[in-house]
Amino acid sequence: MAATVPQSAEHLVIGAGVHGLATAWHLAEAGEEVLVVDKDGVAAGASGIACGVIRNNYFQPAMQELMAACVEIWESDPEAFHYHGSGYIALGPAAQEEELSEVFERQQRIGYDSELYTGEAEVAAHMQEMFGDWRAEGLTVCLHERVGGFAFNHESMHGLADKARAAGARIAEGVEVTGFDSDGSGAVTAVQTSSGPVEVEQVVIAVGPWIASLWKLLDLPAHIDVHHPDGSVERDKPMWTYWYLQEGEVALPPRTLSTDDGRESPVLHVDSHSPLRSDSGGLITDEPWGIYVKPDRDSVQGGAAPLPVGPEFEVDPYPTGSVDPGFPDQWCAALSHCMSRFEGCREHYVQVRSGGAGAFTADNFPVFDRMRDNVYVAADSNHGYKMIAVGREIARELQGEHSTLLAPFRFERFATGDLHPVSQSPYPWS
């Protein structure tokens, strides 16, 4: 049953995921009146089924600086956020050395705690200190982030909602936004909802993969020209493109992934060009592959490369949890490739409601910006769950401050050519 909503709100936040709830929390803490509406409920969308990985392995300086701020918030209340600060490890072959080295150097400049290991022998030695059965070959670079880790997604979102409510924000579940009323300047005067109109002073849109529909309701462009720093221009590029994120679990106890001294494992991300074979020796793929894996509540969870699905995707119901037919074999073979403890894990594979679809922007990086005078859009380009500090920065901007962390993600970058540097990694998902 849809909740009743007040006829007016100073700040109306659309979406009860990580960005909407975090924005509401910080606005309410500052004494502002805040109403959050969600057509389903807290954690019903992408934030509620995210894998929950929290890391700072980004080639782009602006992403690194923003993520450092996000990790600080995750670490500020691990209990409420169900956060596990186990760290994050990225491993790759020689083709990854230069870029992971640059990432490491920037992490050091901003004071982000990490270590870099290069050379196959040194990488193997570091991994075997933690996992005595580590056996992956051909990996010559390892970036070990000592901070970051993972959080339990559903529980963390409810913890964030509790913080917002405790600060005074109201959350109305089962309320769908159906339109916007605007004045002559383009400012939104009222938001039409399934529970009636709400007059507003400020609107924040934070709806994850549903962004395209609200973007359209605001008459924002479905296609844009993207100007590059070298002067070239991509004409009429779709603003939104969907990718489907593939994730699953092996029904083995989380301790299966523990380090040899009994500690919780860091999140592991492995990119490799080594031929990948099943435990019986059959070739799974001789193409480059990548996986990530972490302990979960009652199992070991992870994923592999996302699948591009084009400019349109049906996000309701969200999502089915389907994956490419070859995903379970590849992911389980990759686990066994890395550690002998996972031999035979394919028989324990289970498909779960995880991953889902992400709406990526024209350059695959977030847009955090005012798209009308009183409408702020948080379009995370599927980087969202880990970016818990975005809500704090949006709240500051709505109160008249300037966020240096969000400035690089303004929409006008597509017109000015002030784009984020692009990784040259042979692994596009990295």
What pLDDT digit, counting tens, does each position of 190-211 carry? 999 999 999 999 999 999 999 9
What pLDDT digit, counting tens, does each position of 11-69 carry? 999 999 999 999 999 999 999 999 999 999 999 999 998 889 999 999 999 999 999 99
Position 305 scores a pLDDT of 78
Task: List Cβ neighbours of 217 (8 Å cut-off, separation of 6 or more).
Answer: 177, 179, 180
According to the CATH classification, is domain 1-84+149-224+363-430 in 2.40.30.170? Answer: no
CB atoms within 10 A of CB 195: 16
Q: How far apart are CA 223 and CA 239, in angstroms?
A: 5
What pLDDT digit, counting tens, does each position of 395-419 carry? 999 999 999 999 999 999 999 999 9
| pLDDT score of 250 more than 90 | yes
Q: How far apart are CA 222 and CA 237, in angstroms?
A: 8
- Mean pLDDT across the stretch 90-101? 96
Of 196-200, 376-380, 381-385, which gets the smallest average pLDDT? Answer: 381-385
| pLDDT score of 1 more than 60 | no
Residue 384 in contact with residue 404, Cβ under 8 Å? no
Q: How far apart are CA 199 and CA 189, in angstroms?
A: 6
331-357: burial string, b at 16+ Cβ within 10 Å, e else: bbbbbbbbbebbeebbeebeeeebbbb
Instruction: Look over the chain and give the mean of its residue pLDDT values, rounded to a whole number.
Output: 95
Q: How far apart are CA 183 and CA 201, in angstroms?
A: 12
| pLDDT score of 2 more than 70 | no
Q: How far apart are CA 140 and CA 127, in angstroms?
A: 12
Confidence of residue 296 (pLDDT cuts 50, 70, 90): very high
| pLDDT score of 306 more than 90 | no
Residue that has been written with the tokens 């690089």 in this structure: 408
